[in-house]
Amino acid sequence: MAEILALDDVQDATILIGKILKKKGHTVHSFTEEDDAIAHAKANKVDLAILDIKLKKMSGIEVLSLLKEVQPAMKAIMLTGYPTVETAREAISLGADEYCVKPIDRDELEEKVEKVLKSRGNKNAMSV
Amino acid sequence: MTIIREQEYLRVYQKITRMISMVLDHQQVMDTIVNSLPGLLNVDAATIRLLDAETGKFVMGAANGLSEEYLSRYSIDTEETMEMILSGYPVSKTDVKLESSPEDREIIQSEGVNSILTLPILFQDSIIGILRLLTKDKRIFTADEISFSMALAEQVGIAISNGRMFLEMENQVDFMKEVQQLSTLVNSSLDLSEVLDTIVERLPDSLGCKGCTIRLLQANSNQLELVASHGLSERYLQRGRVENEMNVAAALSGSPVAIYDVGHDDRIMYKTAMEEEGIQSVLSVPIKAGSDVIGVIRILSDVPRCFSSSEINFAVTAAEVGGGAIRNARTYQQISLLFNQIEENERFLANILDCIRPQLLVVDTKKHLVLVNKVLQGEMGCTENELLGRGYHDLFQDQECDEKDCPINKVFATGQPASFTHTNERDDGVHWCERTASPMLGTDGEIEFVIEVIRDITAKKQLEEARLEQMKLQGVVELAGTVAHEINSPLFAALGTAQLLEEDLDEEDIIADVGTIVRNLKEIGKLTGKMTQMTGYESREYVGDTTIVEIR
């Protein structure tokens, strides 16, 4: 089972992600503040980060960049309510494994998380 | 003196007087005297030399009984003898060989001359020449002979002067006619080349000379440029610059210069070139236009020529007539050049006006058209002649531009540039016109003309409208994206939570209700998805005046 970090400015969204993935046996650490999430990643092992692109102070892309500095092997799924070519291109260049558009279906979320976690050590799998 | 001798002298005197009174040409007078005197006075040869007033030297007038070689020696006699003669006294030499200069002694000996009587030829107390009587035998001229010869020389002086005067008068009349003709000819043309050619051809012909040149001063370099010539070879003409030749310099300072013998005159620089060309004498005269010397005319003779004062005056007068005509022709040439330049500029400006895309017109203070470009002519379907002079308001009365908005009226009212934009209905739709009028002020600061430029700005207007539409669409798309984004996060939370709840429920009715919520939340998700991918919209009627948009 994996250590998962979820960061979204909407608290209900982080709670939901936690509920869905805990049912799958993962440990989920939910955050609405960027600094808290970064501090957690600096102190603990994180297998997967699920990040919303629109946050309170920074963008999810910037947070991804900082998390990758402390946890280079960490996997990442980017969530957005407003998909654009620019954000998708930047997320991929910073090592994001998935780029999902909200509202994401529960089954779709579970499926993507499993897929990304399985691909640990296999870096050529990325889908939008 | 015996009576017989006196009678003999009287007879000779009468004969000479009769002979010289029968001829009027002074050259004929001189020839008659030198041919008759040896027989009458029992001498072997006689010569007459005339004084060239300009150089102060004696030049050959006529000779009889002597060789060319002897006659062409450089000096006539010793300095002492010449001084005596110039003082008005006769000089008699019995043995010339002993009394001549060493350099002339050989030629005198080979000619066989032994005795010479040299007499001044006087006219009104001035020396005009010398008469020399030469014998091969040694002869002592007696006082009676000398006195008689002096009286004869005086008669010769009178005859030569009379002949000269007659010739001068005759020449002056001829020259006046010639100047008149030349004046008529050169003033009948404004073509500079034609004027110059007329002068160089007529002048040497009138003076019986070989050729003629005209050199004009160039304003920028102040150097003389050969502009016309007649009767001279190209080689001679190309001999070199002449500004520094003394006779040319004197002519440029305004004084005419006559040179009898170019081969021995210091005022000539290119002696060899002149000799090769066969030139013996030169007359250089200034070409004057008003008080300014604008060039030099040189008249060249291929026989030794002592130019008389009337000939020099004629040349000077002819050069002045020519100078006036040259100045007129030059002025005309400059005016023609200027005129051509103005015409060229006018054509250039007209081309510019015709090539610019907007319509352009100019009106005078009465608002009548005074200039229209080709684009305007094409737009109006009229020729330039049909449009010029027409009233501005008559021309545009069918257009949607009120007189109060008319930029031309505004310019006349305020003196400031004005512009106005209006529409015109045409077959191909509505056209936008922009009229800009600007004043053209006269030297008194008042408006003389008004220029109006009419531009069809339909394309520009359409572009502006399209840009506005694009900006509006961009705003709508961004708003839709933002709204969708703001909805998607809570929607995600709501949908996911509903799905989890549906899984945990047991009662069929409640499961069905939660299923309805999940289905509708998914519908909202589809709608927000459309909003994030929106590229355009269409207005759709709703209720009453209200319209709603359909996302594309």
Which residues in B lie closer than 8 A to residue A10 (C-beta atoms)? Answer: 489-490, 492-493
pLDDT in tens, B265-309: 999 999 999 999 999 999 999 999 888 999 999 999 999 988 888
Using left for φ > 0, alpha for ψ between -120 and 50, and beta otherwise, residue B45 falls in beta
Please state the rounded mean pLDDT for residues B348-359.
88
Sign of torsion over alpha carbons A14, A15, A17, A18: positive
For residues B242 and B220, is the Cβ–Cβ distance under 8 A? no
Q: Which residue is closest to A104 within chain B, CA to CA? A: B492
Distance in angstroms between the alpha carbons of the first and the last residue of chain A: 24
For residues B211 and B204, is the Cβ–Cβ distance under 8 A? yes
Could you say which DSSP state residue B391 is in? B
> Which secondary-structure segment (H or E) carries B448?
strand B447-456
CB contact under 8 A, B495 and A103: yes
Q: On the CB side of B429, how many CA atoms lie within 13 Å of its CA?
A: 6
pLDDT in tens, B406-444: 899 999 999 999 999 888 888 888 888 899 999 999 999
Residue B50 to residue B504: CA distance in whole angstroms: 157
A52 touches chain B (CB under 8 A): yes
Residue in A55, A52, A23 with CA at minimum distance from that of residue B501 = A23
CATH number of B189-334: 3.30.450.40
Point out the residue among B484, B490, B524 whose CB comes nearest to the CB of A82: B484
Residue B153 to residue B122: CA distance in whole angstroms: 7
For residues B90 and B149, is the Cβ–Cβ distance under 8 A? yes
pLDDT at position B186 is 80
Residue in B268, B266, B263 with CA at minimum distance from that of residue B298 = B268
Q: For A63-72, B44-53, B471-480, B538-547, which range has the lowest pLDDT when averaged over its residues? A: B538-547
pLDDT in tens, B294-306: 999 999 999 998 8
Burial of A92 (0-12, 13-18, 19+ CB in 10 A): middle
Give the tokens for residue B82: 């010449």
Contacts of B481 (CB under 8 A, 6+ apart): A82, B531, B532, B534
Give the tokens for residue B63: 């000779």
Residue in B105, B102, B154 with CA at minimum distance from that of residue B131 = B154
Contacts of B104 (CB under 8 A, 6+ apart): B73, B75
Residue B362 to residue B437: CA distance in whole angstroms: 9
Helical spans, DSSP H, in B356-406: 374-380, 384-387, 392-395
pLDDT at position A125 is 43
Strand partners, B64: B46
pLDDT at position B309 is 82
Helical spans, DSSP H, in B96-217: 96-99, 102-111, 143-187, 192-207
Q: Is the pLDDT of residue B195 over 80?
A: yes
CB contact under 8 A, B485 and A9: no
pLDDT at position B277 is 95
Residue A91 to residue A119: CA distance in whole angstroms: 18
CB contact under 8 A, A81 and B484: yes
Q: Is the pLDDT of residue B1 over 60?
A: no
Point out the residue among A16, A83, A105 whose CB comes nearest to the CB of B493: A16
Sign of torsion over alpha carbons B405, B406, B411, B416: positive
CATH number of B359-456: 3.30.450.20
Residue A128 to residue B2: CA distance in whole angstroms: 162
Q: What percent of chain B has pLDDT over 90?
A: 43
pLDDT category at B136 given cuts 50, 70, 90 is: very high
B542/chain A closest Cα distance in angstroms:
28
Mean pLDDT of chain B: 88
Which residues in B lie closer than 8 A to residue A19 (C-beta atoms)? Answer: 496-497, 500
A20 touches chain B (CB under 8 A): yes
Which residues in B lie closer than 8 A to residue A9 (C-beta atoms)? Answer: 489
CB contact under 8 A, B492 and A19: no
Query: Which residue has 């910037």 as its token pair?
Result: A62
pLDDT category at B227 given cuts 50, 70, 90 is: very high
Q: Which of B477, B482, B488 to mutate to test the interface with A (most CBs of A within 10 A)?
A: B488
Give the tokens for residue A15: 């709670």
A103 touches chain B (CB under 8 A): yes
CATH architecture, range B3-169: 2-Layer Sandwich (3.30)
> Which secondary-structure segment (H or E) carries B59?
strand B57-64
Give the tokens for residue B464: 């502006």
pLDDT at position B175 is 84
Contacts of B499 (CB under 8 A, 6+ apart): A105, A106, B518
Q: Which residue is closest to A12 within chain B, CA to CA? A: B493
Q: Is the pLDDT of residue A128 over 50?
A: no
B540/chain A closest Cα distance in angstroms:
26
Please state the rounded mean pLDDT for residues B132-156.
88
Residue B391 to residue B369: CA distance in whole angstroms: 6
Q: Which residue is closest to A83 within chain B, CA to CA? A: B532
pLDDT at position B399 is 64
Point out the residue among B490, B524, B528 whose CB comes nearest to the CB of A10: B490
- The class of domain B462-551 in CATH terms is mainly alpha
pLDDT category at B105 given cuts 50, 70, 90 is: confident
Sheet holding B57-64, edge to edge: B57-64, B45-52, B126-135, B115-123, B91-93
Instruction: Of A24-33, A88-97, B319-328, give the range with the top mean pLDDT.
Output: A24-33
For residues B314 and B287, is the Cβ–Cβ distance under 8 A? no
pLDDT category at B397 given cuts 50, 70, 90 is: low
Burial of B12 (0-12, 13-18, 19+ CB in 10 A): middle
Burial of B306 (0-12, 13-18, 19+ CB in 10 A): buried
CB contact under 8 A, B521 and A103: yes
Q: Is the pLDDT of residue A115 over 90?
A: yes
pLDDT at position B479 is 86
B462-551 matches B3-169 in CATH topology? no
Better-predicted residue by pLDDT, B53 or B457: B457
pLDDT at position B398 is 63
Could you say which DSSP state residue B89 is in? -
Could you say which DSSP state residue B417 is in? -
Q: On the CB side of B529, how many CA atoms lie within 13 Å of its CA?
A: 12
Q: Which of B489, B491, B504, B532 to mutate to test the interface with A (most CBs of A within 10 A)?
A: B489
Q: Is the pLDDT of residue B8 over 80?
A: no
For residues B204 and B231, is the Cβ–Cβ distance under 8 A? yes
Which residues in A lie closer than 8 A to residue B489 (C-beta atoms)? Answer: 8-10, 13, 52, 54, 81, 102
Please state the rounded mean pLDDT for residues B515-540.
84
CB contact under 8 A, A81 and B492: yes
Query: Which residue has 């002597």 as its token pair?
Result: B66
B498/chain A closest Cα distance in angstroms:
10
- CB pairs A-B closer than 8 Å: 75
Q: What is the ipTM of this complex?
A: 0.77
pLDDT category at A3 given cuts 50, 70, 90 is: very high
Domain spans in chain B, listed from the N-terminal domain onward: 3-169, 189-334, 359-456, 462-551
Which residues in B lie closer than 8 A to residue A102 (C-beta atoms)? Answer: 488-489, 491-492
> Which secondary-structure segment (H or E) carries B454?
strand B447-456
Q: Which residue is closest to B519 within chain A, CA to CA? A: A105
Q: Which of A56, A102, A110 to mutate to test the interface with B (most CBs of B within 10 A)?
A: A102
Better-predicted residue by pLDDT, B39 or B83: B83
pLDDT at position B453 is 93
CB contact under 8 A, B490 and A19: no
Q: Is the bond preceding B120 in cis, omega lying within 30 degrees of 0?
A: no
Q: Is the pLDDT of residue B230 over 90?
A: yes
Please state the rounded mean pLDDT for residues B358-380.
92
Instruction: Of A58-72, B72-86, B302-316, B419-433, give the range with the top mean pLDDT.
Output: A58-72
The angle subtended at Cα B503 by Cα B497 and Cα B506, nearest 5°, is 125
pLDDT category at B315 given cuts 50, 70, 90 is: very high
Which residues in A lie closer than 8 A to residue B482 (C-beta atoms)? Answer: 82
10 Å Cβ neighbour count for A9? 17
* Residue-wise burial string across B259-270, b where 16 or more C-beta atoms lie within 10 A, e elsewhere: bbbbeebebbbb
Point out the residue among B485, B499, B529 whose CB comes nearest to the CB of A106: B499
pLDDT at position A124 is 44
